[in-house]
């Protein structure tokens, strides 16, 4: 078995997942980094960043919606390290086009829910089985997992309903996994980012700049990927050991309802 703990992060090449990869490397994890494209410039530039923090880096190409490849990828990680201590279900996509719920297409709905909900649910299911087996071998292990959802899990955006639906579903999936895995000694958490500066939001920067200036975010700025990564690193470090099923919203106060 690998001497150091191992974190598996989906969507690790860019944005929030990338910040999580470096934050967890700093915490002493070796990193199995999953992205759609294994040889992208982003993935290739992440390897030295993680290595410079003293961690081993294992890049893996997997479209998370391709559930038929999950078992093979988990076997690859197990062959390499013999352990999985922490899973971050982070890979996600926006709808191809923002369109009113009355115009939403089945194609866009299937694509978004396939990547954001169906894929992560079945990937987490298989990793959970692996973690249960590992705990049987090594009872001192404290495996855990995190689902990256969104403030959209509980907010309505009429022009990207399929995204909100996928994140609301993933939020409940987190609760169900937390409930089932508590008896196995495996903790499960939900992290809900707010409006975060990444490639995903690159096309709507002007819109959100304006809304933030008008007060949409009580703390008055965009979330940066590092804000989300800090929260995930705190969970991975064991600070929330007695709080399985907890929802951590990292949104600069968008959770506040005010009158």
Positions touching ligand NAP (CB under 6 A) are: 10-17, 35-37, 40, 42, 62-65, 90-93, 115, 148, 150, 193, 195-196, 198-201
Give least dist CB 97 to ligand NAP, A.
16
Sign of CA dihedral 122, 123, 128, 133: positive
Give least dist CB 61 to ligand NAP, A.
8
In the three-class reduction of DSSP (H, G, I as helix; E, B as strand; rest coil), residue 11 is classed as coil
Which C-beta is closer to ligand NAP: that of 156 or that of 259? 156
Radius of gyration of the chain (CA): 18
Give least dist CB 28 to ligand NAP, A.
22
Q: 18 and 40 in contact (C-beta within 8 Å)?
A: no
Give least dist CB 134 to ligand NAP, A.
24
Give least dist CB 256 to ligand NAP, A.
17
Which C-beta is closer to ligand NAP: that of 132 or that of 201? 201
Which C-beta is closer to ligand NAP: that of 2 or that of 75? 75
Q: Which of 173, 104, 111 shows the shortest CA–CA distance to 145? A: 173
Which C-beta is closer to ligand NAP: that of 90 or that of 244? 90
Give least dist CB 90 to ligand NAP, A.
5
Tokens of 17: 């997942």
Q: How many angstroms from the chain centroid is the CA of residue 239?
A: 18
> Distance between CA 249 and CA 226 in Å, rounded?
14
> Distance between CA 253 and CA 206 in Å, rounded?
21
Tokens of 157: 């955006």
Which C-beta is closer to ligand NAP: that of 2 or that of 159? 159
In the three-class reduction of DSSP (H, G, I as helix; E, B as strand; rest coil), residue 6 is classed as strand
Tell me the HSE value of 159 on the side-chain side, using a 13 A CA sphere: 4
Give least dist CB 138 to ligand NAP, A.
29
Which C-beta is closer to ligand NAP: that of 115 or that of 217? 115
Which C-beta is closer to ligand NAP: that of 1 or that of 155? 155
Tokens of 74: 């988990």
> Distance between CA 10 and CA 59 in Å, rounded?
10
> Distance between CA 47 and CA 33 in Å, rounded?
9
């Amino acid at each position: 078995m690998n001497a150091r703990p191992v974190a598996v992060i989906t969507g690790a090449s860019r944005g929030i997942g990338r910040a999580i990869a470096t934050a967890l490397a700093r915490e002493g994890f070796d990193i199995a980094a999953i992205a759609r494209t294994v040889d992208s410039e982003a993935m290739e530039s992440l390897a030295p960043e993680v290595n410079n923090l003293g961690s081993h880096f294992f890049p893996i190409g997997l479209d998370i919606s391709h559930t038929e490849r999950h078992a093979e990828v988990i076997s690859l990680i197990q062959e390499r390290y013999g352990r999985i201590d922490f899973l971050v279900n982070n890979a996600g996509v926006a709808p191809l086009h923002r369109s009113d719920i009355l115009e939403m297409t089945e194609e866009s709905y299937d694509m978004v829910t396939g990547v954001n909900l169906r894929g992560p649910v079945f990937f987490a299911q298989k990793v959970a089985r692996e973690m249960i087996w590992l705990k049987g071998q090594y009872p001192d292990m404290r495996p855990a997992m995190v689902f990256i959802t969104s403030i959209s899990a509980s907010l309505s955006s009429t022009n990207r309903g399929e995204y909100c639906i996928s994140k609301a579903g993933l939020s409940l999936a987190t609760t169900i996994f937390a409930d089932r895995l508590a008896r196995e000694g495996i903790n499960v958490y939900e992290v809900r980012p707010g409006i975060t500066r990444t490639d995903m939001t690159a096309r709507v920067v002007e819109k959100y700049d304006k809304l933030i200036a008008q007060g949409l975010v009580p703390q008055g700025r965009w979330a940066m990927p590092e804000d989300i990564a800090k929260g995930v690193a705190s969970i991975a470090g064991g600070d929330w050991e007695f709080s399985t099923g907890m929802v951590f919203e990292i949104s600069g106060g968008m959770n506040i309802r005010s009158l």
